[in-house]
Amino acid sequence: MPEGLEVEIYRRAAVALVGRRISRLTVDDRIAEADVADALPGCSFQAARRIGKLLLLDTDGPTVGLHFGMTGRIVVDDDAPIEELVYGSHRDDPAWDRFVVDLVDGGRARVNDPRRWASVTLDPDTSALGPDLLALTADDVRAAVAGRRAPVKAVLLDQRRIAGLGNLCVDEVLFDAGIDPRRPGGELDDEDVVALHRSMATCLPAMLARGGSHCGSVSPDVRAELPPCPRDGANLRRAVVGGRSTVWCPSHQR
């Protein structure tokens, strides 16, 4: 958290910045490159884009790249698109504002992050990122898993393969597609790839519409309580796969 879905919600909030000019920046230099504070005042925002978990704010000067770490969020004009992250703090402490943009029109945007793992870069290199989670073709999914000996769970978490999937979204699409997260990525056959792509194309927009990556079948509550599988009643399993806590159904995920 936040995964690509949350950053898409942030991006939509950041569209409100387009056309507005920066008057002043206040930056926690522990999360930003040294030149950020000097390069941006006077610039106007021109677009809010996103690749995976990276929010890109284009200006008529540099492009600002925002990574939100584990607990970061954006607040534009005091409108927080996500009031509280599932694993985040429930408070909005000004001491956690790591990047504050004051606008000429009196508005303000800020990145609030209790744990200070957010980061701000100028003109970030995005060439290593895979295709975005909300714009995938079946061929993208096929290319992402092809030849990979790592568990498909780990492959899908690799931002170089597909950009924007995090732990909750990966468990959700594998649950929906009926694929065991421990299977080596390269062992998925074409039927599996098509099913996985279909699950991504349906589950991810549906979760986004409901509020983010915590709004799927394998929700944080389900992960904590491990109720019977809603599809077939089998006992869900939880184990570390690909370095992350993973929940799946051993009955219908094969």
Between CA 152 and CA 179 the distance in angstroms is: 9
Between CA 47 and CA 244 the distance in angstroms is: 34
Between CA 44 and CA 221 the distance in angstroms is: 42
Considering only residues 13, 162, 229, 241, which one is a binding residue for Zn ion as defined by CB under 5 A?
Answer: 229
DSSP 176-190: HHT--TTSBGGG--H
Residue among 50, 53, 148, 237 flagged as catalytic: 53
Cβ–Cβ under 8 Å, residues 53 and 7:
yes
218 touches Zn ion (CB under 5 A): no
Q: Tell me which residues in 24-83 interact with Zn ion (CB under 5 A).
A: none
Q: How far is the CB of 237 from Zn ion (least distance, A)?
A: 10
**Does 3 participate in catalysis according to the annotation?**
yes
Phi, psi of 145 (to 5 degrees): -95, -20
DSSP state at residue 63: E
- Name which of 21 and 252 has its Cβ closer to Zn ion: 252
The window from 76-84, 149-157, 216-224, 225-233 that contacts Zn ion (CB under 5 A) reads 225-233
| Among the listed residues 225, 245, 244, the one whose alpha carbon sits nearest the alpha carbon of residue 235 | 225
Residue among 2, 81, 114, 151 flagged as catalytic: 2
| Residues ≥6 apart with Cβ < 8 Å to 39 | 61, 62, 122
Of the chain, the end-to-end C-alpha distance in Å amounts to 27
Considering only residues 82, 165, 170, 249, which one is a binding residue for Zn ion as defined by CB under 5 A?
Answer: 249
217 touches Zn ion (CB under 5 A): no
Which tokens sit at 13? 């909030």
- Name which of 50 and 153 has its Cβ closer to Zn ion: 153
Q: Going residue by residue from 173 to 212, which x/- string records binding to Zn ion, judged by CB under 5 A?
A: ----------------------------------------
DSSP state at residue 62: P
Q: How far is the CB of 221 from Zn ion (least distance, A)?
A: 17
Considering only residues 12, 20, 182, 252, which one is a binding residue for Zn ion as defined by CB under 5 A?
Answer: 252
| Residues ≥6 apart with Cβ < 8 Å to 54 | 7, 65, 66, 67, 124, 126, 129, 163
Q: How far is the CB of 251 from Zn ion (least distance, A)?
A: 5
The window from 103-111, 141-149, 194-202, 244-252 that contacts Zn ion (CB under 5 A) reads 244-252
Which residue ranges make up the site for Zn ion (CB under 5 A)?
229, 231-232, 234, 249, 251-252
Active site residues: 2-3, 53, 244
